[in-house]
Structure 1
């Protein structure tokens, strides 16, 4: 007999194991908020603006993309556009998680704020709906609290030391961004998209205004998918 979530009874994962794995992900990634706080203040944002980004945006890759573009002298609207397009992937996570978690309607608007790479990965890795709900909740809560706390600490620290570039901390943001991105590149297509995006971004960096190369790099995905489709059609 199969349950409503498509899993046979008795094959679920123990709650303790789900909580342990979720806490591990939440703590490991949540500590990266320190690097964001340092990077954001180094890019010219103040303490309140930095903390507001973590509280209201709460998606690390988009936050790092935004402050990175601003640090390079980019137009705020261009920087925001790049961050927005990078964050649209969370909408696709939401479509899948809405079916998997089947949360009450009143809870969904609040849960949507926690739909990010880490909560989606933990939830989708679970064998049944109960474990997925626990994983989503524990990962989201742990990550949200730690990310915002370490963002505050990083921002306070950056304000205290002054020029972050003099300490080499201006490289913290890009380093953490790459660390978050690298584990997601599992297939040849994903690696091809990433490689082409890097080439486009670096190639147009000297000739386009700051922030615009990020938008150009977004063309890598449709380009690779188009070439892949042509290759498969020609077989």
Structure 2
């Protein structure tokens, strides 16, 4: 990803947004200052290192579930999406059918395709690079890339996060699988919760608005409620319904009971000079 297309010129004014960069709607998009490359790299390394080290938990969990060292390492190399990997080995450890376990992991990983739709416009990478970059489209790279104010910063954030996380995740997966026997009963350690816990800790400070907090809270409630009654992986998928539900309810709240309309559905208008009685 070293050689890329020329970047659009910036307007040069303080807080200017790089030309052609899609910016999420909201007050922050009106004037977002350029971010130094060093700051972007620092943030990306923080996420990549913190989450990458939790690959050790996957290596231990996978080996404890009965997968061989080769199978465990191939999963991290080719699948490279922590939640789907944990869902797969968790279902296999519970005695689930391998095809059912693989299907659950696949549908859990479908979310990355939606991330890719947004990131493809934001990064605008050359065609030759896109297939390789697609392998790094995951929760963490998306979380680092989207808030960046310029295309250059977005590309740096995506590249550094993806490279750091991919290398560390695979190295720690190997170490975890090799050390699984030394740990004894891996279920007793609860290491399968390490990767989700790390990501939630990184994500929590980004929930700045009431809508985001309510959506996250409802998603947690849905997942915990459905966990005892549905197969592994399904509650996480259904928790995504929290977003449309919250948006629908907030839309109804903003409109209000009458939505400014009369009893016959027509908008009521005040005549010039008319006052409230």
TM exceeds 0.5?
A: yes
Q: How many residues align?
A: 224
Q: 1:132 to 1:216 in 2, by over 3 A?
A: closer
**CA distance in structure 2 between the partners assigned to 1:128 and 1:101 by the alignment:** 10
Larger radius of gyration: 2
Q: 1:201 aligned to 2:227? A: yes
**Alignment partner, residue 114 of structure 1:** 136
**CA distance in structure 2 between the partners assigned to 1:11 and 1:50 by the alignment:** 43
Larger RCO of the pair (alpha carbons < 8 Å, separation 6+): 1
Does structure 2 conserve the Cα–Cα contact (< 8 Å) formed by 1:38 and 1:155? yes
TM-score normalised to structure 1 length: 0.84
Q: 1:4 aligned to 2:19? A: yes
Q: 1:218 to 1:123 in 2, by over 3 A?
A: closer
User: Could you say what secondary structure the match of 2:227 adopts?
Assistant: helix
**CA distance in structure 2 between the partners assigned to 1:213 and 1:15 by the alignment:** 41
**Which structure carries more helix by proportion?**
1
**Alignment partner, residue 127 of structure 2:** 105
Q: Shift in Å at residue 132 of structure 1?
A: 0.7
Residue correspondence of structure 1 range 120-135 to structure 2 within 5 A: 120-135=142-157
User: Could you say what secondary structure the match of 1:190 adopts?
Assistant: helix
Q: 1:217 to 1:37 in 2, by over 3 A?
A: closer
**Alignment partner, residue 219 of structure 1:** 238
Q: Per-residue CA shift, 1:77-102, capped at 9, x if unaligned?
A: 22112211211111111111101110
Residue correspondence of structure 1 range 128-147 to structure 2 within 5 A: 128-147=150-169
What is the aligned counterpart of 1:18 among 40, 49, 64? 40
Q: Per-residue CA shift, 1:157-194, capped at 9, x if unaligned?
A: 014445434xx23x110343344346547421232122
TM-score normalised to structure 2 length: 0.72
Q: 1:92 aligned to 2:114? A: yes
Unaligned 5+ runs, structure 2: 1-10, 12-16, 24-29, 258-277
Does structure 2 conserve the Cα–Cα contact (< 8 Å) formed by 1:64 and 1:177? no
Residue correspondence of structure 1 range 41-80 to structure 2 within 5 A: 41-80=63-102
**CA distance in structure 2 between the partners assigned to 1:163 and 1:67 by the alignment:** 15
What is the aligned counterpart of 1:173 among 162, 167, 192? 192
Q: Shift in Å at residue 201 of structure 1?
A: 1.5
Q: Per-residue CA shift, 1:197-221, capped at 9, x if unaligned?
A: 211121x16xxxxxx2532563343
User: Could you say what secondary structure the match of 1:218 adopts?
Assistant: helix
Does structure 2 conserve the Cα–Cα contact (< 8 Å) formed by 1:61 and 1:180? no
